[in-house]
Chains A and B, each alone.
Chain A
Amino acid sequence: MNSSLKSIGFAAAMCVVCSILLTTASSGLQHFQQRNVLLDKKKNVLKSVGLVDEEADLSSAEIESLYALKIRPLWIDRTGSIVDEDRRQGDELPMYLYLQDDQIQAYILPIDSRGLWGRILGYLAIKPDGSTVAGFTVYKHSETPGLGGEIEKRWFQRNWVGKQITNRQGSLVSITVAKGAVADRVEKEKQIHYVDGISGATLTGKYLSGGVKKILDQYEPISIRFRQNQVSPDI
């Protein structure tokens, strides 16, 4: 009895000490971590439009200044009109514009999709024709490294560039992650709407395809406005 009491006491003391240590570390470092996460998001916005290369080792100041110079965050409502920051109701969708010499080079949609093990967060950049994908990035996910985790790798993301979210008739078809290589699996005329899948990660691909479709549906009003050339850079 005495020895079990001692064990329980020791375990309890251990728990208290460990939790105090971890709580202190976690709350003490939270500030730094959040800054990193924010910066990483900005870096990924820039990456989705090809302004920052994966390998490039930019300082945080460089990323901040590039972001401030080229990217304009804005909000749109359900009908695809831009909403002023101070008139927001709460159900608007966030979006970013990539501007170069006062011309819109691309618009960037945040991706928030279900994955196999958790959410997949990233960005999808679309050219101002409202259909051609300019880039795709993932900055946060919980997929298995080496399998679903490959979605954060360059080879996977590079496949998205140049794909079309609409068909020839101009209606939305979204981008689907194929089950295997696009060249073997998909008919020739549909290949423009598919990207190569990851072997061993069929479900990740399936959920990501679903998530991207849902998000493109939500943003379809603004995409239509882009297709009809109704968006000017000075909005």
Chain B
Amino acid sequence: MNATIAAVRKTFSYKAICDALWQANPISKQVLGICSALAVTVQLKTALVMSLALTLVVAFSNLFISLLRTQIPRNIRIVVEVSVIATLVILADEMLKAFMYDISKQLSVFVGLIITNCIVLGRAEGFALANPPGRSFVDGMANGIGYSSILIAVAFIRELLGAGKLLGYSVVPAAFYEAGYVNMGLMSLAPGAFIIIGLFVWLQHALLKKK
């Protein structure tokens, strides 16, 4: 058992995911992709869908760009990267419109804005261009998971404190409200997201420094 754990720990995937979750987290360490993290974290549901969409887009854009990496002419590589990403994002958007219409209306422009999310282009440019497809795909997945972890944590806190709900279900007992508990309106507004993300960034930097 211990041997398998040790073996898993040595794999590239494990390291990539750990890195993206903690030491090089795209949001809390590299402070990328903040725009969408502020906008879609009012509710857990939209954050989950956004996380899923972004993770798939990063993973597949990494995969395709890595597959093409020997072919892509250097002078137009950014153009090529952006067109791959844009194609994937539009596909994701069309899928959402076809199968999850209500959520796609709530996410509105932010799915489209994945195109401009620095995480995606950053991984394409910084990793996929220089690494084989398998590794690039895992790297994309890992970064998507890193982004998702913060997004979901922020959305969890904001929906719980701001609306007293989780995934749309009330979790704060009615007795609390009768006893004078009030939802924190600030959490459902953009400043709430700024504060929560700021706290995450601070917490992580403090913990990393200690080590």
Taking Cβ atoms with an 8 Å cutoff, the residues of A that contact B are 3, 6-7, 10-11, 14-15, 18, 21-22, 25-26, 29, 32-33, 36-37, 39-40, 55, 57, 145-146, 149
Contact = CB atoms under 8 A, between A and B. Distances in A.
Interface residues of B, number: 27
A33 B97 contact: yes
A33 B80 contact: no
Interface stretch (B13-21, B83-91, B138-146): B83-91
A15 B87 CA distance: 10
B94 A33 contact: yes
A13 to B, nearest CB: 9
A21 B87 contact: yes
Chain B interface helix/strand/loop/mixed: helix
A13 B99 CA distance: 30
- For the residues of A in contact with B, the DSSP-based class is helix
A10 B80 contact: yes
B90 A22 contact: yes
Contacts of A57: 168
A10 B97 contact: no
Nearest to B101: A36
Interface string B94-118: 1101110110010011100000000
B11 interface: no
B40 to A, nearest CB: 10
Nearest to A32: B98
B46 to A, nearest CB: 12
B109 to A, nearest CB: 6
23 contacts: A3-B73, A3-B75, A6-B73, A7-B75, A10-B73, A11-B80, A14-B80, A14-B83, A18-B87, A21-B87, A21-B91, A25-B90, A25-B91, A29-B98, A33-B94, A36-B97, A36-B98, A37-B101, A40-B102, A57-B168, A146-B39, A146-B190, A149-B108
